[in-house]
Amino acid sequence: MSIRDAMRNPICTNCGGPAIIGDMSFEEQHLRIENARLKDELDRVCALAGKFLGRPITGPPLPNSSLELGVGTNGTFGTTMATTTTLPLGHDALPTMVVPSNRPATTLDRSMFLELALAAMDELVKMAQTDEPLWIKNIEGGREMLNHDEYLRTFTPCIGLKPNGFVTEASRETGVVIINSLALVETLMDSNRWAEMFHCMIARTSTTDVISNGMGGTRNGALQLMNAELQILSPLVPVREVSFLRFCKQHAEGVWAVVDVSIDTIKENTTFVTCRRLPSGCVVQDMPNGYSKVIWVEHAEYDESQVHQLYRPLLSSGVGFGAQRWVATLQRQCECLAILMSSTVPTRDHTAITASGRRSMLKLAQRMTDNFCAGVCAST
């Protein structure tokens, strides 16, 4: 029953017949309307959780009295909402929604975040798997370019229409990296490790809210709110400050996907933004030799007026913040990690640097790179 029907046709809880509005107090009328709204919201959340888990979810048994849902256990209306809520799905189902005490989230917040994350994940996987006519090869450089007309025909914008004055950039890149899918997923879901892996591209980042840690001790179903400042090596290009959801899901054995999507359109008290992150991220598949195949998709909208004219062609081509740069950086960093973790030294070369010496050299190189980026980039 919808809220409007509940208001028009109230039902007596004792006899099941139509209730006369004059026989009910104002508070009881208000509680009945609130009950109908909460039941509708519960059905919606259960439907989302069913999509999240891939199996149907049923809500908890309803209380005997139609007023119990609204008054709560302590008799005060509206106090049934806790800052930490677990949907009634069992211990192996949707994980607990953890909300920090300084920003209590409502059921509507969580359901909206979950719905947005699921839509973004669906779009990312389709963009990673679909070729022509969605993606077209660039004749000059061989890079893949997004067919924007086909994109608009295929997908419904999950964060709304593009703001006036914004331009779109989109790119896709496939590569092989010397890291397994689980290790890469753990790196992406940890803001500190993510910033360390892509230290030339990320000026700073933080995790502001962990909505879900994942299921069964894994990152499957992990969902969190993050902030980041993305940069390129020039003071003429402003950093891209983005607030986004990061959602991780396991699609098959050894196949994972991590997607980002901006939340500016659903977040309260949003200030003016100059960049929006459309569903972007990577699909990672394990290979038999310990490597992983990575398909990376970058899709963003940004205010071009903030960028110096010299760099506008660079950004529009996807070279600045595109998927090619993310994959190339990931490959380079994974090779460095492989050297750091290797303990073997060539036996025939007596002048070779020892394992500890190589590790020291790589750490020195990383510190030099960090200092260079801090001095050149526009981030403060």
The model's pTM: 0.70
Structural domains in the chain (count)? 2
Condensed to tens digits (0 to 9), the pLDDT of residues 205-262 reads: 999 999 988 888 889 999 999 999 998 888 888 889 999 999 999 999 999 999 999 9
Task: Please check whether residues 290 and 219 belong to one and the same domain.
Answer: yes
Do both 68 and 127 map to the same domain? Answer: no
Q: Show which of 30, 63, 79 is a domain's final residue.
A: 79
**Would residue 218 count as lying in a domain?**
yes
Mean pLDDT, all residues of the chain = 77
Q: Examine residue 85 and state whether it is found in any structural domain, yes or no.
A: no
Residue 102 belongs to a domain: no
- Give the pLDDT band of residue 83 (cuts 50, 70, 90): very low
Report whether pLDDT(19) > 70. no
Average pLDDT over residues 13-37: 67
Please report the pLDDT score of residue 143 as a whole number: 81
Q: Is 192 helix (H, G, I), strand (E, B) or coil?
A: helix
40 with 151, same domain?
no
Instruction: Please indicate, yes or no, whether residues 174 and 250 belong to a single structural domain of this protein.
Output: yes
Q: Is residue 104 part of a domain?
A: no
Contact between 6 and 32 (Cβ < 8 Å) = yes
Distance CA 41, CA 144 (A): 42
Domain termination site, one of 24, 59, 79? 79
Residues 170 and 237 placed together within one structural domain of the fold: yes
Residue 188 pLDDT class (50, 70, 90 cuts) = very high
Same domain, 221 and 311: yes
What average pLDDT does the segment 44-53 reach?
62
Band of pLDDT at residue 77, cut at 50, 70 and 90: very low
Do 277 and 321 reside in the same domain of the chain?
yes
List the one residue out of 329, 261, 318 whose CA is nearest residue 294.
329
Q: Is residue 55 part of a domain?
A: yes
> What pLDDT is stored for residue 87 in this prediction?
29
Distance between CA atoms of residues 329 and 64, nearest Å: 59
Task: Tell whether 71 and 168 lie within a shared domain.
Answer: no
At 9, phi and psi to the nearest 5?
-125, 70
CA dihedral 287, 288, 291, 292 (to 10 degrees): 10
Q: State residue 145 phi and psi, 5-degree precision.
A: -115, 145
* Domain, as residue range, for 204: 114-376
- Which tens digit of pLDDT belongs to each residue from 132-183? 899 998 777 678 889 999 999 999 888 888 888 899 999 999 999 999 999 9
Among 6-15, 85-94, 284-293, which is the least confidently predicted range?
Answer: 85-94
pLDDT digits 0-9 by tens, 100-144: 434 545 556 778 889 999 999 999 999 999 988 999 987 776 788
Q: How far is CA 118 from the centre of its chain?
A: 9
Q: Is residue 320 part of a domain?
A: yes
* Among candidate residues 59, 79, 99, the one where a domain is terminated: 79
CATH number at residue 200: 3.30.530.20
228 and 362 belong to one structural domain:
yes
* pLDDT value at residue 73: 37
Between 277 and 267, where is the model more confident?
277
